[in-house]
Structure 1
Amino acid sequence: MFTAYVVVTAVTIVANTAAAIADFAGAKAVLANADQVGVAPSWVPWLGALKAAGAAGLVLGLLGVRILGLAAATGLVLFFLGAVAVHVRARVFGNIVFPGGFLALAGASLALAAAH
């Protein structure tokens, strides 16, 4: 169980770090997606900061600060529930797999951290 926790959480960290970097860089795909779902471009760096904070909290959780790991995983679950909701509200289903995948990773990280 510990190995699954470490592997899933590490994948979640890498995925969210990459997404945060793309947000900070203003990647064309990120800005196009934000436009499709009605998110102002000025929000994108702030959303990247939340992803980066979640990834950092997961790292701290892996390093033994359990409460921060749980809080970070919970925050990422809530963040990506919101992202899925924004896609549904905007009726943009062509790329909903991305926030859905991030939600699945965050949910698995949370479940494994809680069980650990």
Structure 2
Amino acid sequence: MFAAYVTVTILGALINGAAATLYLIGHEYPKAQADMKGVPRKFVPLLGTLAASGLVLYFVGAIIAHLRVGSRDIVGGIVFLTVAAAALVLGLVHHG
């Protein structure tokens, strides 16, 4: 069961990473998918901002949970939080 869990987790990370890359390079596929589903293209940056905001909140919560139980092993959480916050800020600056 553990092997299946790890495999699916890695696969999910790869698929989401590939999707994020397509969005970031401005590939036509994500835009066509938004068009097909009736999502106006002007909403795509908002959806990205909401996703980045969710990641920031998730990692803030993770760090708080570690500190609450006395764990000081938060370097990884701080790194992930920093990257998510940077993506959020840069996205906001880029899209206005």
TM range, normalised to the smaller chain? 0.3 to 0.5
Comparing both chains, which one has the higher relative contact order based on Cα–Cα distances under 8 Å and sequence gaps of 6 or more?
A: 1
**TM-score scaled to structure 2, two decimals?**
0.45
**TM-score scaled to structure 1, two decimals?**
0.38
